């Protein structure tokens, strides 16, 4: 691991680091906010923030406004990248496929399979590195994300049993097996057998396995991509499975980081309640 930058932030440290990833076979970059307690050597709980299409580790790190609320709660925040990158990594002319659009899964189809293993990267590779290099309490983890990252947060929370104490999402892609933001990518990365897609669909996973902890979901009523996100399918799945959840439609908000930043305080407080219990 190498340090790209470390800067004082709300009494803690906002760092950016790079390392050689065994999962992706590439160099990966991530952001990590450590609250003041970590500077004193105290192990702190961890909140994962997964970003959306076209983002890197940097977008949410700069725009989401998480650090101040995380410092107040004494929680670290991890900002992974959204895909492998580099000249040797397959890409596509469309913004919603290829680099910047890893969809938080392990690809099995060419040309994506050699490097697009973001499920393993976020759930195994990067946590192992973080536990070794930083004062983090990996027994206390929660996860959140925006858009494609909300999809990743929900599916990982349900797919990795016992890992995350709470899960939240900002405007998640909720039902990708039935959406234009999903069917294209799932077919490209996983092939045409739709049975393999179900483990990467939050609506289907809720109906199948659910999540044993609390869930918080926010959408904006003026989200320009709302038809692709399919919030109504997620709301129905929450209701039909009686999932412990708060589902909110925020009037007037769109899909931007202004929306994310507006409700970040709520999401940090929600996760703090679970992580610090």
The CATH number of residue 95's host domain is 3.40.50.1820
Over the range 91-120, which residues count as b (16 or more CB within 10 Å of their CB) and which as e? beeeebbbbbbbbbbbbeeeebeebbbbbe
Tell me what the pLDDT averaged over the chain comes to: 98
Dist. CA 147–CA 225, nearest whole Å: 10
Q: How confident is the model at residue 8 (pLDDT cuts 50, 70, 90)?
A: very high
Predicted pLDDT at 272: 98
255 is catalytic: yes
Catalytic residue among 200, 218, 223, 267: 223
Give me the pLDDT at residue 39, please: 86
Range of the domain at 249: 2-275
Reported as a single tens digit per residue, the pLDDT across 142-155 is: 999 999 999 999 99
pLDDT at 81: 98
Can 20 be counted among the known catalytic residues? no
The position carrying tokens 């709302």 is 226
Give the Cα separation of 53 and 75 in Å (integer): 25
pLDDT class for 77, splitting at 50, 70, 90? very high
CA contacts within 13 A on the Cβ side of 216: 22
Check if 147 is active-site. yes
Cα of 58 vs its chain's centroid, Å: 13
The one catalytic residue among 147, 166, 168, 179: 147
Q: Is the Cβ–Cβ distance between 60 and 51 less than 8 Å?
A: yes
pTM: 0.98
User: How far is Cα 168 from Cα 128, in angstroms, rounded to an integer?
Assistant: 23
Tally of domains in the chain:
1
Residue of 57, 255, 267, 271 marked catalytic? 255
């Amino acid at each position: 691991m190498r340090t790209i930058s470390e800067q004082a932030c709300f009494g803690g440290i906002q760092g950016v680091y790079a390392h050689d990833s065994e999962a992706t076979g590439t160099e990966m970059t991530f952001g990590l906010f450590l609250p003041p307690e970590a500077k004193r050597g105290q192990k702190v709980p961890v909140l994962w923030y997964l970003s959306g299409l076209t983002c890197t580790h940097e977008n949410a790190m700069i725009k989401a406004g998480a650090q101040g609320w995380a410092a107040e709660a004494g929680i670290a925040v991890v900002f992974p990248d959204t895909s492998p990158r580099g000249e040797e990594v397959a890409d596509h002319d469309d913004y919603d496929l290829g680099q910047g659009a890893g969809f938080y899964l392990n690809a099995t189809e060419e040309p994506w399979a050699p490097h697009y293993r973001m499920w393993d990267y976020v759930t195994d590779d990067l946590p192992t590195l973080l536990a070794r290099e930083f004062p983090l309490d990996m027994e206390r983890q929660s996860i959140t994300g925006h858009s494609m990252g909300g999809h990743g947060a929900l599916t990982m929370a349900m797919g990795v049993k016992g890992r995350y104490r709470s899960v939240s999402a900002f405007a998640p892609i909720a039902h990708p097996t039935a959406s234009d933001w999903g069917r294209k990518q799932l077919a490209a990365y996983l092939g045409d057998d739709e049975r393999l897609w179900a483990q990467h669909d939050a609506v289907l996973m809720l109906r199948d396995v659910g999540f044993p902890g609390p869930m918080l979901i926010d959408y904006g009523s003026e989200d320009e991509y709302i038809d692709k996100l399919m919030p109504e399918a997620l709301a129905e799945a929450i209701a039909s499975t009686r999932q412990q959840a708060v589902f909110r439609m925020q009037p007037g908000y769109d899909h931007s980081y202004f929306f994310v930043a507006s409700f970040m305080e709520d999401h940090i407080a929600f996760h703090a309640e679970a992580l610090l219990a």
